[in-house]
Amino acid sequence: HSLADKLCLDRFYVQDNDYRGEPPPERYAAVIRALTRSLQSDGQRPTFRRTWQHQSKASWQSLTDLPTKVRIDNSTSDQFTIIDVFAHDRPGLLYTIARALYELRLSVATARIGTYLDQVVDVFYVTDTRGLKIGDESRITEIREALLEAIAMFENNSI
Q: Choose among 133, 150, 124, 143: nearest CA to 1.
A: 124
Tell me the one-letter amino acid at 63.
Answer: L
Is 18 in contact with 51 (CB distance < 8 Å)? no
| CB atoms inside a 10 Å sphere around CB 119 | 15
- The three-state DSSP-derived secondary structure of 31-98 is HHHHHHHHHHCCCCCCCCCCCCCCCCHHHHHCCCCCCCEEEEECCCCCCCEEEEEEEECCCCHHHHHH
Nearest to 133 by CA among 145, 143, 122: 143
pLDDT digits (tens, 9 = 90+) for 119-129: 899 999 999 98
Fold classified for 55-157: Alpha-Beta Plaits (3.30.70)
Q: What is the pLDDT of residue 2?
A: 55
- For residue 7, pLDDT over 70 is answered with no
Q: Are strands 119-127 and 69-73 parallel, antiparallel or unpaired?
A: unpaired
Report pTM.
0.64
DSSP H or E run through 125? strand 119-127
Are the C-beta atoms of 120 and 89 separated by less than 8 Å? yes
CB atoms within 10 A of CB 117: 7
What pLDDT digit, counting tens, does each position of 76-96 carry?
Answer: 999 999 999 999 888 889 999
* CA distances to 100, 103, 133 from 129, in Å: 15, 12, 10
- Cβ-contact 111, 123 below 8 angstroms: yes
Domain ranges of the chain: 55-157
Q: Comparing 47-56, 93-102, 111-120, which segment has the lowest mean pLDDT?
A: 47-56
